[in-house]
């Protein structure tokens, strides 16, 4: 039959050919009310013959549910995020949700645009990892009926999943102080990012009031990229005596810092210890292998998915929750 190919077969076509009403066809597939076995048989056979495929768009318009979730991330190309996304997706798959993946490149305008998009498309859920958008806006999205999970320390306005960055950053800093001396430096990523803020705060907690050598710099903000790491490390080294240890806000930064240390003939960790954050695959492969914080991206994703699902299915509808998936320090060679 031609119809199989052109695929404009509607529920009415099936109903007509099967000699039943559209309602019955609908219920055969939804199972929302009992249908006589023989009738079911006929309907399914006819639907098959005609190549009927329920129009999900029409269904969404009617039911007001899209079975779609948006994941907003800085950049899927940063190895941390694919793992996170997989975590979300894997958790949502059994419930037949599809996920739209969006890259903001850490730009405010993109973040806002995607929020609009989520609203316009009437998505069921949103997992958001943003740098610029303030929590109120996220809360407004949630208000409109979309389940929202914020990746990072939530401001208590929407459900949040985090790995307790601040506490962890403090712990790592103290570890460095204890092992290499009090003069520890920090290379931050985009400094206004929530993540960056917490890690920087933790760094300060841990470093306490240790003195900074004259004319030296011990805190510097760059991008969350390898190049950012290079620039940050260069700034640190050019400003005076090298610190005893450098704590980087993520692994890409640490990789860049490692590059610069190598180029300048500094031995790691002997002359300067380096710690990253994320434990991307490359961290274990560089030499010296990178000591880093493993934040379990996939588990974070699954936790986000779980929160989302509980709201989307209506299982939970109370006040905002905050889940913590603790990070761990993976000590390798660089510190």
Angle 300-302-303 (CA atoms, 0-180°, nearest 5)? 65
Q: Does 226 bind DNA (CB under 7 A)?
A: no
> At its nearest, how many Å lie between its own copies and the CB of residue 25?
15
Q: If we measure between CA atoms, which residue out of 173, 179, 183 comes closest to residue 206?
A: 173
Pick one of 13, 117, 167, 205: the residue that binds its own copies (CB under 8 A): 117
d(CA 23, CA 30) in angstroms, rounded, equals 10
Q: Does 144 bind its own copies (CB under 8 A)?
A: yes
d(CA 95, CA 43) in angstroms, rounded, equals 25
- Does residue 289 sit in helix, strand or coil? coil
Q: Does 34 bind DNA (CB under 7 A)?
A: yes
Residues 6+ apart with CB under 8 A from 16: none
Pick one of 44, 51, 54, 101: the residue that binds DNA (CB under 7 A): 54
d(CA 145, CA 98) in angstroms, rounded, equals 18
Question: Stretches 31-39, 196-204, 289-297, 304-312: which one binds DNA (CB under 7 A)?
Answer: 31-39
Two tokens, residue 210: 């240790």
> At its nearest, how many Å lie between its own copies and the CB of residue 189?
18
CB-CB contact of 152 with 194 (8 Å):
yes
Please confirm whether the linkage preceding 269 is cis (ω < 30° from 0): yes
CB-CB contact of 76 with 105 (8 Å):
no
Question: Stretches 10-18, 113-121, 261-269, 312-320: which one binds its own copies (CB under 8 A)?
Answer: 113-121
212 binds, among DNA, its own copies, none (CB under 5 to 8 A by kind): none
Q: Does 282 bind its own copies (CB under 8 A)?
A: yes
Within its chain, how far is the Cα of 13 from the centroid? Answer: 43
Q: If we measure between CA atoms, which residue out of 256, 188, 174 comes closest to residue 219?
A: 188
In DSSP terms, which residues pair with 45 in a beta bridge? Answer: none
Structural Rg of the chain based on CA atoms? 26
Q: Does 89 bind its own copies (CB under 8 A)?
A: yes
224 binds, among its own copies, DNA, none (CB under 5 to 8 A by kind): none
Q: Does 253 bind its own copies (CB under 8 A)?
A: no
Q: Any idea how long the chain is? A: 335
Q: Does 67 bind DNA (CB under 7 A)?
A: no
Interface of this chain with its own copies, residues 297 to 316, rule: CB under 8 A: none
Q: Which is nearer to DNA, 45 or 179 (CB)?
A: 45
Pick one of 19, 145, 178, 326: the residue that binds DNA (CB under 7 A): 19
> At its nearest, how many Å lie between its own copies and the CB of residue 171?
27
Catalog residues that contact DNA under the rule CB under 7 A. Answer: 8, 10-12, 19-24, 26-27, 29-30, 32-36, 39, 52, 54-55, 58-59, 61-64
* Sites of contact with its own copies (CB under 8 A): 5-7, 53-58, 60-61, 66, 68, 75-77, 79, 81-83, 85-86, 89, 98-103, 116-117, 119-122, 140, 143-145, 255, 281-282, 285-287
């Amino acid at each position: 039959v031609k119809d199989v190919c052109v695929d404009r077969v509607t529920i009415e076509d099936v109903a007509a050919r099967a000699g039943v009403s559209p309602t019955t066809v609908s219920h055969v597939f939804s199972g929302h009310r009992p249908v006589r076995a023989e009738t079911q048989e006929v309907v399914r056979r006819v639907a098959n013959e005609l190549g009927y495929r329920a129009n999900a768009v029409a269904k969404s318009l009617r039911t007001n549910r899209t079975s779609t979730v948006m994941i907003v991330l800085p950049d899927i190309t940063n190895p941390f995020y694919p793992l996170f996304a997989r975590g979300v997706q894997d958790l949502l798959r059994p419930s037949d949700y599809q996920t739209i993946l969006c890259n903001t490149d850490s730009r405010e305008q993109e973040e806002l645009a995607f929020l609009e998009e989520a609203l316009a498309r009437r998505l069921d859920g949103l997992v958001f990892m943003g740098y610029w958008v303030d929590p109120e806006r996220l809360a407004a999205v949630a208000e409109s009926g979309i389940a929202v999970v914020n990746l990072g320390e939530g401001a208590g306005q929407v459900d949040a999943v985090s790995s307790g960055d601040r506490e962890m950053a403090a712990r790592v800093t103290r570890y460095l102080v204890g092992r290499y001396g009090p003069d520890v430096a920090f290379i931050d990523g985009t400094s206004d990012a929530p993540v960056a803020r917490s890690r920087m705060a933790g760094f300060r907690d841990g470093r306490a009031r240790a003195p900074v050598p004259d004319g030296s710099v011990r805190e510097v903000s760059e991008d969350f990229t390898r190049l950012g790491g290079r620039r940050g490390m260069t700034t640190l080294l050019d400003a005076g005596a090298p610190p005893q240890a450098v704590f980087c806000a993520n692994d890409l930064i640490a990789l860049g810092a490692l590059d610069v240390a190598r180029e300048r003939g500094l031995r790691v960790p002997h002359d300067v210890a380096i710690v990253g954050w994320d434990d991307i695959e490359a961290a274990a492969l560089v030499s010296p292998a990178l000591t880093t914080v493993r934040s379990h991206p996939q588990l974070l994703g699954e936790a986000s998915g779980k929160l989302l699902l509980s709201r989307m299915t209506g299982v939970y509808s109370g006040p905002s929750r905050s889940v913590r998936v603790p990070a761990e320090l993976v000590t390798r060679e660089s510190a």
